[in-house]
Amino acid sequence: MSSIGRMSLLEAVDLHLRRWKRSYDSRRKIVLLTLFTLFLVMYCGPALLRWIFSSNSSHDLINLEKTALEEHLRPFLIEEQSFNTFISRSWFKTDYDIDMNVNVGSSQMSNRPSTSSLSDGLIFHKHFHSFIGNGKFGIDIPSPSLPQEKSGIWIKGRRGLDVEVPFHPVVKVDPIQNRKESVCVLRIREGLVHRITTFPYVATTAVVYETMYVHRLISSLFVQEIRISNPSMVPLVLRLSRQGWKGKPAIKTTSLVVIHGREEKEYVVTEGDVKSMEGHLVNGFVISAPVIQDSIEVPAKGKYHLVLRTFVNYTTPTPPGRISLVMSELKNSIQETTKKVDEMLSTSLLQYHSQAWNNLWKTGFGISHSKAGEGVVNGDDINATIYYILSHKASFASDFNLIVPTETNFDIRTNFLLNHPDRCYAGNPTLQAPNLWAPLSDAESVQKIVRLWLLTLEKNGCGNLLSAGAEGTMQAVILSFVAMQFHQNHLEMGIHPKELHRDYFLRRVRYSNTTSLNVTMIVGEDYKASIRVILDKNTGSRDFYACDAGCLDSPVKLSGEEETQFPVKITEPLTAILYVTNDRQHVVELKHAIHVKEVAVAPAHETHIIALHRHGHQLGGLPAFFWASIFILVVLFHIFLAKLIYNEYCGGGSEGLRSSYSSGSLLSSSSSNSFPGVSYDKLRRAV
- 167 phi, psi to nearest 5 deg: -120, 130
pLDDT value of residue 268: 93
Beta strands 578-581 and 545-548, pairing class: antiparallel
pLDDT value of residue 343: 85
Band of pLDDT at residue 106, cut at 50, 70 and 90: very low
Band of pLDDT at residue 413, cut at 50, 70 and 90: confident
DSSP 34: H
DSSP 225: E
For residue 656, what are the contacts with CB-CB under 8 A and spacing of at least 6? Answer: none
Instruction: Give Cα 50 to chain centroid, integer Å.
Output: 22
pLDDT value of residue 356: 94
Mean pLDDT of 54-75: 58
Measured CA to CA in angstroms, residue 93 lies from 209, 295, 306, 563 at distances of 21, 34, 32, 41
Task: Give burial (CB, 10 Å; 0-12/13-18/19+) of 63.
Answer: exposed
Spatial distance between the Cα atoms of 40 and 633, rounded to a whole number of angstroms? 13
For the cut 70, the answer to whether the pLDDT of residue 266 exceeds it is yes
pLDDT value of residue 21: 58
How confident is the model over 228-252, as pLDDT tens digits? 999 999 999 999 999 999 888 778 8
Band of pLDDT at residue 264, cut at 50, 70 and 90: confident
Inter-residue contact 464 to 421 (CB < 8 Å): yes
Q: CA end-to-end span of the chain, whole Å?
A: 26
Spatial distance between the Cα atoms of 270 and 285, rounded to a whole number of angstroms? 8
Spatial distance between the Cα atoms of 319 and 324, rounded to a whole number of angstroms? 10
pLDDT value of residue 23: 60
- For residue 297, the cross-strand partners are 237
pLDDT value of residue 89: 67
pLDDT value of residue 324: 85
Query: Cα 545–547–551 angle (5° rounding)?
Result: 130
Q: Which of residues 362 and 642 earns the better pLDDT score?
A: 362
- 185 phi, psi to nearest 5 deg: -115, 115
Judged by phi (left if over 0) then psi (alpha if -120 to 50, else beta), residue 283 lies in: beta
How confident is the model over 584-638, as pLDDT tens digits? 999 999 989 999 999 999 999 888 788 887 776 656 555 666 667 777 888 888 8
pLDDT value of residue 40: 66
pLDDT value of residue 623: 61
Lowest mean pLDDT among 96-110, 205-219, 319-333: 96-110
Inter-residue contact 134 to 402 (CB < 8 Å): no
- 180 phi, psi to nearest 5 deg: -160, 160
How confident is the model over 624-672, as pLDDT tens digits? 666 677 778 888 888 877 877 777 767 554 444 444 444 444 334 444 4
Average pLDDT, the chain: 81
What pTM did the predictor assign? 0.79
Band of pLDDT at residue 146, cut at 50, 70 and 90: low
- The residue among 441, 428, 427 whose CA lies nearest residue 385 is 441
- 148 phi, psi to nearest 5 deg: -80, -5
Task: Give burial (CB, 10 Å; 0-12/13-18/19+) of 219.
Answer: buried
Mean pLDDT of 418-439: 94
